[in-house]
Amino acid sequence: MSETKIDELVFFVNGKKIVEKNVEPEMTLLQYLRTTLHLPGTKLGCAEGGCGACTVMVSKYDRAQDKIIHYSVNACLAPVCSMHGLAVITVEGIGSTKTRLHPVQERIAKSHGSQCGFCTPGIVMSMYTLLRNNPLPSMVEMESAFEGNLCRCTGYRPILEGFKSFTKEACCGKGANCCRNNFATGEADPNANSGEASSLFNHHDFAPFDPSQEPIFPPELQMSSKLDDQSLMFTGERVTWYRPVTLDELLILKDKHPTARLVIGNSEVGVEVKFKNMHYPVIIAPTHIPELLTVQCTDSGITFGASTTLTKMEEVLREAVEQKPEHQTRVFAAIIEMLRWFAGHQIRNVAAVGGNIITASPISDLNPLFMAAGCTLRLASKDGGFRTVPFDHTFFLGYRKTVLTPSEVLISIHIPYMKPDEYFYGYKQANRRDDDIAIVNAGIRVLFETHNNTVKEMAMSFGGMAPTTVMALKTAKQVVGRKWEDNLVADVCDLLADDLPLDPDAPGGMIEYRRTLTTSFFFKFYLSVQSRLQENKQVDEHCVPASCRSAIPVFHRDPSKSSQLYEEVAPGQPTDDAVGRVVTHMSAGQQASGEAVYCDDMPTIQGELYLALVTSTRTHAKILNIDPSDALEIPGVEAFLCHKDVPGDSNSTGPVIFDEEVFASEEVLCQGYVIGAVVADTQAHAQRAAKAVKIEYEDLPTVVTIEDAIAAEAFMPPSRTMNVGDVETGFSDSDHIIEGEMRVGGQEHFYLETQATIAVPKSENGEMELFCSTQNPSKAQMLVAKALGVPANRIVCRVKRMGGGFGGKETRFTTLLLPVAIAAHKLNRPVRCMLDRDEDMVITGMRHPFLGRYKVGFSHDGVIKALELNLYMNAGYSMDLSFSVMERALFHLDNCYKIPNLKVKSNICKTNLPSNTAFRGFGGPQGMMINESWVTDIAVTLGISQQQVREINMYKEGDVTHFNQKLVQCNIKRCWDEVLRKSSFMQRRAEVDLFNSENRWKKRGLAVIPTKFGIAFTAKFMNQGGALVHVYTDGSVLLAHGGCEMGQGLHTKMIQVASRVLRIPTSRIHISETSTNTVPNTMPTAASASSDLNGMAVVNACQTILERLEPFIMANPKGTWDDWVRAAYFDRVSLSSTGFHRTPDIGYDWDKNEGNPFNYFTFGAACSEVEIDCLTGDHQVLRTDIVMDVGSSLNPAIDIGQIEGGFIQGYGLFTLELVKFSPDGFLFTQGPGSYKIPGFGDIPVEFNVSLLKGSLNKRAVYSSKAIGEPPLFLASSIFFAIKDAISSARVDAGIHGTFRLDSPATSERIRMSCTDQFTKQFPPAEPGTYKPWFVHV
């Protein structure tokens, strides 16, 4: 082993050489960039490599290939130590609004692909890296580049649309004849009506992309191998990091440190250290050892060194597939297909094949393939030398255990070629296709006797079915000698059931589904092989029925396409009048360049401390003792705070009623309940100390699910009821009565920026300044004032922007804000905290889960006669906003249909879960979803189309709702008719029916759903808005209003409104922030009403200014804005004005069932088509058409962005996003690794959005309508299209009639609803005989 080890880290960042003498091995590249180099453009979104917000580009010189390689990485996982000898480019390094935006930054900004902007730098860097490697990618390559990136705001479409301009398909070479010219220049689409536009940006405005102008790779790294050849050793506070450069050195280190972890990409160890509290004192990075990097092609196969990255492996295998005979590379093709779904590029670029094997994950994507293929592994140790072992059922000894001795190292894996009569396929089913861990995966291989269909050898390996990857040995043995014929399938299914048992309480749950997947995978394999044998004429040419062939192909997705139609501004509208025009989000450029400042991006303040929360690990328990002594011994720790440290008698808190505590005093009510806080000099010290606080509990009974609450009668008063008409008479007049129930699951907000706060105490009068990521600064001000025992006028809360909110930052931000403020007050020093993703998800609550039990009466032609409904919601441990959420659910339980007789009772369930809270739609989507469930049941019961049932009951102009509000300007039917026409619904209905008649294992579904969403706060007093306008003597205008910017474009719209009133360009108007010392007593930015309320207040304030300027305009009519402003100033006329608005004619009396709870309604309709895989439960959205009534749009680009973003968020709610709690109330889904929001690859392949033309709304600013929440429910069209497809599968199985499908329609629910011979093989265990791994709350 080398005697000399270098302890100096050398690398480059944005072209600047970095030399770090005392690097901390536990520090990630992201932490180093943000805290040491003060480059905050790279964001922390999850700390587990699952969201892509931290993406940067790393470059290295590959001496073996003599070329520079660029690759994207997750900076949140990459250890800064691993950057030695490399060059890093961050978003700040490629462009800036202060100099020049890079074309990637410019195009995502101008194509409206940045809303909240928190994810934007990571997406920019993924695209930038792709272009550095491939200056002219295909659309498929472009879309693939974002497999490791998430966005919660945009719905992805505008990002893809903007970046399409870089692709081969966009650069067709046809010049003026290019088909893109029309749609990209603002000219009307030929399919659009007169006065409609179909372009949201002009690609001719984009700066050209010139690859030759990119920053050069540091010559120092290219000219010399010095840094590559150095053995490294970095010693930190708790960890020592080694990077050996020879195999001997590695084996000596491993012999000396047998428990050391070997790290290449840190994608597993990084997560273990961060989230599983693992501590590894010694880390060895075998990234520079030639033997572990070698790739060798032999006569028998290809050998990969264990440090070969998955990206490199894929490149080599693709080359082999192109060059070798097809039969030899069948296993290679299966591995390539599996890698397509293996994490994102950022992970595959650094994760090594050896790490994938040695990690020994029971759900590894690759290990089942390696084992079934008959791979071999080469191992080595200092004293034992080399040995070769088969990678088979003997390799894994138990959970995360292998045959390697503590001192052994994996050197390489050999993947063999296949024989001509050998076939191999791999399978994987996950909750989401892109970047998701498997539920079950498999590798299956069969070898036949020469030129016939008799099985000679078979191997079947499965992940997700045991604590290790397992092989179905008995099944494989029994199959040998059998003919590959249909009777084999049933026998193999029986054998697999015996080979792969799962207990009902097995970890992971979904027992019947997982077992069904094993047999379904085999059936797919059987059909695939049979088809190949048929091609080779080894079996009868008709052995695979035509109806079964659709089960064979691997998943394919066409490149995305879309259209957007909106009404153009009236001819003659002044150029400076921005209302109704497409205006880019005012901060888009800064967001794309990383210059936009979010709460945690603010520079550290002198003396600043970091806070970490101490939270409960029990769901319901008494606190017997709190012992912080060990925590206080950790270096850097300043203090521990608990309920005793809250000033005065102010520990009680809550957004509406004070039924919560800042710090738990005697009892914890859920996992994540805040007990205390540790304050230290750094985040690392604070978090380590928080985990060291010892708490003794005495457990108490828990209530977790809605059913638990019903059984325990654990309800929170009051209970709202609604009675309309005579329900009993309605039922007696009905020809049919059905009963049923439906559950709508919860949903995690998953704003990309987690809860964040900085509290800065002032030196006098108890003043404090708060910088907080909140939708509700006035609530922050009031609750902090209460907690500190000072008047509200001593507290100022400032909000520059949020990285997403969606309701999750309306009230639950106080869970973090109050401890931070109390700590700052007590220590008289600035205190900061930004929650980690897992903390945020555990602590802050989610969308309310609902359960609806209904009884519906209707006539023989589908007319609704009566509804009786019991609604239950899971509120969590406190009231929060649950009462108001339930009220909105009650207001929306009709969706768009007239219900003459109705009786509804609501129940707010108190459980031992984190308090659930506001989320986009605020109870409306849950109420409407339950409604559409029974509307669908009516159609199925009567055997008529769902379209007919919806149309016959649809509201008309002048109808009165069940809460007695008259519908004025009711555009439901207009939206409905237009979406039917634009989507070619009737034609496609026939096409779907034809497809389903010809296919057994793939089914398509089609559904059209309308929506009606009430706009207003249902609490009357909240329908008010304020504004403040300052005009400065140079003519510039500073605007403030009561709303907060969280990506929805509110500030941009308010500037447009002010532009119209003041008759000046938007460039003269600026909004700096939202703060309580400019506009007081503001309402939360919520309920979709912020543009209405604050927009009218802006109009009011600007009109006052304009009235004051009017005499000067009259005196100098040919003057300019600047002239009039200066004249007013010198005449001592005030150029500052407040504005105020309160919504007129609003208010509802629950006791009398009268009044108008809403100012107006936003309407819309959507048609969606899906295709499901009946054997796996997978689905793809083929097309969605939306028509939305937004009145006269203030900004079509922003409104369409809200429609698309809301729709995709709703798609997650209704299909993908399953929240999993243990029966004891512990949250399993704590980050993007386990909780899946939609990704780039999940959006509809064709996504068309139209704004309804000619709609005016006199009750909002400039005839516009609110748009934030209404589109979300339209995503239920996908849910009901899935249900339509499942119905076809059930009919093929001989099952007719209604069936229950709860939301979300996960792959498990889809598959198990497609009842067939495979699902029937695994009936569920009897409830009560076992404890399930997770429950639906």
- Per DSSP, helices labelled H in 134-218 are 139-144, 157-163, 180-184
Sign of the C-alpha dihedral computed for residues 687, 692, 698 and 701 taken in this order: positive
| Spatial contact of 567 and 1193, defined as CB atoms under 8 Å apart | yes
Cα 303 to Cα 20: distance, rounded to the nearest angstrom:
37
Cα 538 versus chain centre, distance: 48
Which residue in this structure is represented by tokens 């003041």?
Answer: 1062
Sequence-ordered strand ranges (E) for 238-375: 240-243, 261-262, 282-284, 295-297, 301-305
Cα 1170 to Cα 720: distance, rounded to the nearest angstrom:
38
Question: From residue 1030, how far is each of 124, 1040, 1078, 1101, 1318 by CA, in Å?
Answer: 36, 9, 11, 10, 70
Please give the backbone phi and psi of residue 1114, each rounded to the nearest 5 degrees, phi first: -65, -40
- What is the SS3 assignment for 603? coil
Cα 80 to Cα 76: distance, rounded to the nearest angstrom:
10
Cα 961 to Cα 123: distance, rounded to the nearest angstrom:
45
Cα 590 versus chain centre, distance: 23
Residues 26, 1269, 1308, 1326: which is the catalytic one? 1269
Question: From residue 1053, how far is each of 197, 569, 674, 1041 by CA, in Å?
Answer: 20, 15, 38, 12
Cα 705 versus chain centre, distance: 24
Beta pairing partners, 768: 761, 795
Asked, as a colleague might, if the bond just before 507 is cis with ω within 30 of 0, I would say no
Cα 487 to Cα 483: distance, rounded to the nearest angstrom:
9
What is the chain's percent helix, strand, coil content, to nearest 5?
A: 35, 25, 45
Element (H, E) at 647: none
Q: Select from 632, 551, 358, 388 the least CA-distant residue to 1003.
A: 551
For Cα atoms 1268, 1270, 1276, give the angle at the middle one, nearest 5 degrees. 125
Element (H, E) at 445: strand 438-448
| Spatial contact of 671 and 619, defined as CB atoms under 8 Å apart | yes
Element (H, E) at 685: helix 683-692
| Spatial contact of 1242 and 432, defined as CB atoms under 8 Å apart | yes
Q: Which residues contact 1241 (CB under 8 A, 6 or more apart)?
A: 143, 147, 433, 434, 557
Q: What is the dihedral of CA 1144, 1148, 1149, 1155, to 10 degrees?
A: 70
Q: Is 1269 a catalytic residue?
A: yes
Question: From residue 433, how far is each of 338, 348, 1216 by CA, in Å?
Answer: 11, 16, 10
Single-letter amino acid code for the residue at 869 = L
Please give the backbone phi and psi of residue 846, each rounded to the nearest 5 degrees, phi first: -150, -170
Q: Select from 315, 401, 318, 405 the least CA-distant residue to 358.
A: 401
| Spatial contact of 803 and 822, defined as CB atoms under 8 Å apart | no
DSSP 8-class letter at 604: P
Which residues carry out catalysis?
Answer: 1269
